[in-house]
Each structure stands twice: as C-alpha cells, then as structure tokens.
Amino acid sequence: MTATLRDPGTSTRTIGAPRLLAGLDRYATLDYAAHTATHGLLPSTDRPRLIALLDAIALTGRGGAGFPFAAKLRATPDGATVIVNGSESEPASCKDRTLLTRAPHLVLDGAVAVASAVRARHVTVAVHDATAAAAVQRAIAERAEIGYVRVERTPGGFVAGEARALHRGLHGGPARPPGRRAHLTRQGTLLSNVETFAQLAVALRLGPHRFRDTGPHAEPGTALLTLSGAVARPGVVEVPIGTPLGIVLDAAGAVGPRAVVLGGYHGAWRLPRPDLPLAPSTGLGAGVVAVVDERTCALGELARVTAWLAAQSAGQCGPCRFGLPALARDVASLLHGGDPALAVHHARVVDGRGACHHPDGAARFVTSGLGLLDDEIQRHRLGGCGRPVLGQLAVSA
C-alpha cells in the first residue's frame, strides 16, 4: 500500500462540496463549454474591487510561502506582467498539474482577472510538464479573447520552481534564485501559484460571503491536497481548510501511519494526530500529505529525501554547495549509528544563511524529522531497525 504520484492525470475527490474540482466527477477535462456550464461566466472586475475581495477572503498563496495575495496585488504597478507559476517541481505534489490538465480554464480565469485589474499586456503560464503545457495551450486556443496569454516551458528542478528563479529563467538567466532581497513586484511582475489563481476565479463567482461559508473564519475556503506514500487511495483531494488530519487519512486509506510529512520537502515531519487541523497556519505549505508507515525504515526515508534536497541545490552559496551535502552525509550516517548532534549542528549552520530559502526548508525538514524519529535513531545506534527503505516518500530522478 505504497503510492507515489508522478501522473498529473491522477484521481481526484472531495471532502465536502467541490469548488476547484467541481465537474471533474463527470469530465476527464473541462473544456470551455463544460467549464462555463459548471462554473458560469467570469464576472468582470477592476483593481479596487479585486483587492476588496481578496481582503475579505484573506486569500494567501498556495505554493507554500502563504503570502497575502491582496498585499501582492497592491504592490503591483499598472502594466505589470502576470505569471502563473505552474512549475510544480515538488515530487510529492501534483495538485497544480492536476488543475492545469483537468481544469485549465479556472486557472486562466484567475490570471485573466488579475491581468485586467493591473492592465497587463502579457500573461505567462510557466510549466515544465509537457502534458500540462499541452492542456493549457488547448484551453487558450478555445478562447480567442485571451490571445495575450502564452505558455512557456521551464526546465523544472526543485529550486527552479521558486518564484524568483522562475522569473529569472523566463528572462534568459539561470533558473536560480537571485537572492533574498529581490522582490518581483518591484520589477513589474505579479507571480503566483496555479491554485492561487484558481481560488481567485472561484471567489469572483461566489463573492466574499459565500466563499467564507467554508473553512474557519481566519482562513476561509478550501485547499487542494496531494495524498501519497503509505495510502491505499493516493490522489488530489479538495478539503475545507481546517479539516482534521484524521479525516483526510481515513479518506486516503492510511492504516497505521507512523508519521506524516506535511507541506512538502520544505515542510515538516509531524505525528499523525487525528485532530490536527489542516490549514496554512498549521504548516499546510504546498498542500502535501505524505504518509510513512511502520513497514519502511522512516530514518532511511529521511536520509533519502535529504540526499535529494542536497542534489537539488542551486549551488551558488556555501550553505547549498557545502552545507547541504554535509547535512545529507550526517543524516545518512545515522543509519549506521552516527551521532545525531552532527546533523543538528549542520542544519543550524545552513538555516537562514543561504542566498535563497532552499537551505532553510531543507533544515526544517531534517530537524523536524530528527525530532520525531528519536526512537528510530536510537534503534539504529543499537544495530538497526531491520526494516527496508520502501521509498514511501517520492523523489524525482
């Protein structure tokens, strides 16, 4: 019962009434006719009304950073370029690719609304997945009035999907983050994640009061989750924000989970507490819920992903070039009785000191795993846990 997700055409389902995934129980992909029949036409808007809506629904980015979208829109000058970040390079996530391949018009609606509000002349949908790119191209071709929307292929890669790295790559530079102080809105660009634009398209149709009918007061609405790992029913699920983890694990068919990686590989290892509410404020991050059970060596899973994170580094500063490989070696040594204090030390050394946030995310992933797996570390210091590493946490080649 181990499932990893590599196919963007993966199964979808909902807990509660569907919003983003509405119609996907009837259609493999929503073409424009099916999209408008399901969601209705997109209401017109302008910048003041759009900002008021975003303030009312407290929409934050759904790519992991969780930045308030209203603040981003306020800071964006007229004539800016709008970029939809569909370069989903997190191997444990496929929610954005699912939207792009199966409900592309919802994403385009959100991007078109923002473009109208900021008087943008160009909208770019940036993707590295060939299937998603083709689906968006077909959707654009169905709508003659959005000929200013184009699809750009990106090279992929974990760090290359970071907003500033993506922007740099689209403009002919290396697909690496330029540094922590670079702000895209100051460069005349509004860039956000696929799900964020789709959520905006839903909110424009529902209005603030109906949008807030679902989820808690402080964080209303729904969220897309990618369920993977030791689950019988992997896939993408739409849930009301605040849904308890236990309900999601039951829906995924997780039996006897040992731990959950929440938020992706810049997220954290968590105990599978059934009452843990899944929300941005509790570490939902990129919407990943990856389950590890007792059949695999959880410490080996941690070491495997840590090595992958080190290999994904931008290689442009000391913490990435030297710190992350050292951290990966320290974690790997724990499988043979190594000292966890060395791994904790290297995690602290790289945290907050890189040219981008990749070392921070890797350090958070490792330190949370070490804290949760202390009993496993002790078993390995006494000779090992006796379990194989099944690869329940997906990594890309």
Reported as a single tens digit per residue, the pLDDT across 181-228 is 556 766 788 999 999 999 999 999 999 999 999 999 999 999 999 999
Reported as a single tens digit per residue, the pLDDT across 342-379 is 999 988 888 887 778 889 999 999 999 999 999 999 99
- Reported for 174-179, long-range contacts at CB under 8 A and 24+ positions apart, including other chains, are 176/314, 176/315, 176/316, 176/356, 177/314, 177/355, 177/356, 177/357, 177/358, 179/355, 179/356
Q: Is the pLDDT of residue 24 over 90?
A: yes
Share of the chain above pLDDT 90, in %: 77
Q: Give Cα 323 distance to the centre of its chain.
A: 25
pLDDT of the residue at 225? 97
Residues of the chain with CATH 1.20.1440.230: 298-381
What is the C-alpha separation between 180 and 171, in angstroms, rounded? 18
Reported as a single tens digit per residue, the pLDDT across 133-185 is 999 999 999 999 999 999 999 887 888 788 888 888 888 887 777 765 556 76
Reported as a single tens digit per residue, the pLDDT across 55-65 is 999 999 887 77
Nearest to 286 by CA among 194, 180, 198, 199: 194
Nearest to 88 by CA among 4, 156, 155: 156
Q: Give Cα 362 distance to the centre of its chain.
A: 15
pTM, two decimal places: 0.93
Q: What is the mean pLDDT of the chain?
A: 91
* Arithmetic mean of pLDDT, 40-44: 96
Using pLDDT thresholds of 50, 70 and 90, give the confidence band for residue 5.
very low
- The secondary structure of the chain in percent helix, strand, coil, rounded to multiples of 5, reads 45, 15, 40
CATH, domain range 298-381 = 1.20.1440.230
Using pLDDT thresholds of 50, 70 and 90, give the confidence band for residue 23.
very high
Domain 15-211, CATH number (from 3.40.50.11540, 1.20.120.140, 3.70.10.10, 3.40.1190.10): 3.40.50.11540
pLDDT of the residue at 8? 39
pLDDT of the residue at 18? 97
Higher local confidence (pLDDT), 160 or 102 = 102
Residues of the chain with CATH 3.40.50.11540: 15-211
Reported as a single tens digit per residue, the pLDDT across 264-285 is 999 999 999 999 999 999 999 9
SS3 category, 26: coil
Whether the Cβ atoms of residue 198 and residue 114 lie closer than 8 Å to each other: no
pLDDT of the residue at 10? 67
pLDDT of the residue at 179? 65
